[in-house]
Amino acid sequence: MPEGAYDFKPLDPAKFKDPLFTAKGEARAWVDLARLHTLWFNTGSLCNITCANCYMDSGPKKDDLAYLNASHVRGFLDEIKALNLPTEEIGFTGGEPFMNKALPDMLGDVLERGFKTLVLTNAMKPLWHNRDRLLALNRRFGAERLTLRVSIDHPTPAIHEQERGPGTWAPLERSVKWLIEHGFRLDVAGRALYCQSESEARAAYQRLFGAWGLDLDAQNPARLVLFPEMDEAQDVPEITTACWAILNVRPDAQMCATSRMVVLRKGDLRPRVVPCTLLPYDPAFDLGSRLAEAQGAVRLNHPHCAKFCVLGGASCSSR
Ligand code: SF4
Ligand code: SF4
């Protein structure tokens, strides 16, 4: 098989239709919320770049998810407190979160209240323009509380730029070296591309981290998160209740067992809660406008549930 090629079989249109049953009539798997460990905020879908395989479909003109503001975030932090939820971590994702000018204020509010805080970023110009405020937050709250997870699609500039576009490597490298120099805690989100095995990918990332002086163990899957390729048009099996035992995978290991995400859809007056970072748009996964309404079970009625989570083994949180 040539590099980068794979057998493509289109998704069977009969699949992922009924929340309760698969196309074969078997009981569809579900995931109960075990405890809300991580609450994500999608700060908006706009991004400064357009990547070839963005699972959020973000880009410079993709504003389907509007910018959250600091008072939206405060409302949910108040609700965590009022409901006495066991939430330990707050995550921010986008788009590119640093495109939202309210991000430093949101980070300040979250850190002030004692949460561990994780920001997913491409570490390009939007972050660079916020570096003074970021530095002040890191000095005040420390690297134990604030983690930036930087996306590096491949440890070589040429392949990274194939995915992310020309000129995307140099601003990333500049920011990462600045963040290392100023004592930030960095994790990395990467991909195992072009038929590369996971161990080959981890070894290649480790060489890059060494060259940059980044103290990060590439063998640690919580610090270097490797995401599978996403292609919604490709066929995947549906997950039934029998699959947990067959695959030896636990429902409570899925992201939606311990997470929820807040989004503000364009045109909506109030933010909505969805199960995870992967499904911000699908109305079938809308769980309401408050955390109190979003505690129910999630039926795995989307190709991402199979490909990304149950079969791909990926998770977005820092644990
Ligand atoms: S940087 Fe991230 S959010 Fe932006 S287009 Fe690329 S993958 Fe999507
Ligand atoms: S995509 Fe994953 S985390 Fe999201 S609802 Fe499906 S199984 Fe849960």
Q: Is residue 7 part of a domain?
A: no
Is the distance from the beta carbon of residue 251 to the nearest atom of ligand 2 less than 6 Å? no
Angle at 288 between CA 284 and CA 293, to 5 degrees: 120
Per-residue pLDDT of the chain (319 residues; tens, 9 = 90+): 333 444 678 899 999 999 999 999 999 999 999 999 999 999 999 999 999 888 888 999 999 999 999 999 999 999 999 999 999 999 999 999 999 999 999 999 999 999 999 999 999 999 999 999 999 999 999 889 999 999 999 999 999 999 999 999 999 999 999 999 999 999 999 987 665 688 999 999 999 999 999 999 999 999 999 987 666 678 899 999 999 999 999 999 999 999 999 999 999 999 999 999 999 999 999 999 999 999 999 999 999 999 889 987 655 555 4
Dihedral Cα 164, 173, 97, 36, nearest 10 deg: 100
| Residue 261: strand, helix, or coil | strand
For residue 260, being part of any structural domain is answered with: yes
Residue 302 covered by a domain: no
Is the shortest distance between the CB of 31 and ligand 2 below 6 Å? yes
Cα distance between residue 75 and residue 77, in whole Å: 6
Decide if 285 is inside a domain: yes
What is the C-alpha separation between 199 and 176, in angstroms, rounded?
23
Structural domain that includes position 70: 33-233+256-295
Task: Please state the length of the chain.
Answer: 319
**Nearest 10 degrees: Cα torsion 275, 160, 180, 149:** 0
The answer to whether residue 200 sits within a structural domain is yes
Helix (H/G/I), strand (E/B), else coil: 205: helix
Within a 10 A sphere around the Cβ of 267, how many other Cβ atoms?
7
Residue 162 included in any domain: yes
In a domain, 244, yes or no: no
Ligand nearest to the CA of 152: 1
C-alpha 299 – ligand 2 centre gap (Å): 9
Q: Which residues pair with 188 in a beta bridge?
A: 150, 224
Whether the upstream peptide bond of residue 95 has omega within 30° of 0, thus cis, is: yes
Number of other CB atoms surrounding residue 101 within 10 Å: 13
CATH code for position 98: 3.20.20.70
Ligand nearest to the CA of 50: 1
Q: Is residue 213 part of a domain?
A: yes
Of all protein residues, whose CA lies closest to atom 1 belonging to ligand 2? 305
How many structural domains does the chain have? Answer: 1
Please tell me the residue having the least CA distance from ligand 1 atom 6.
51
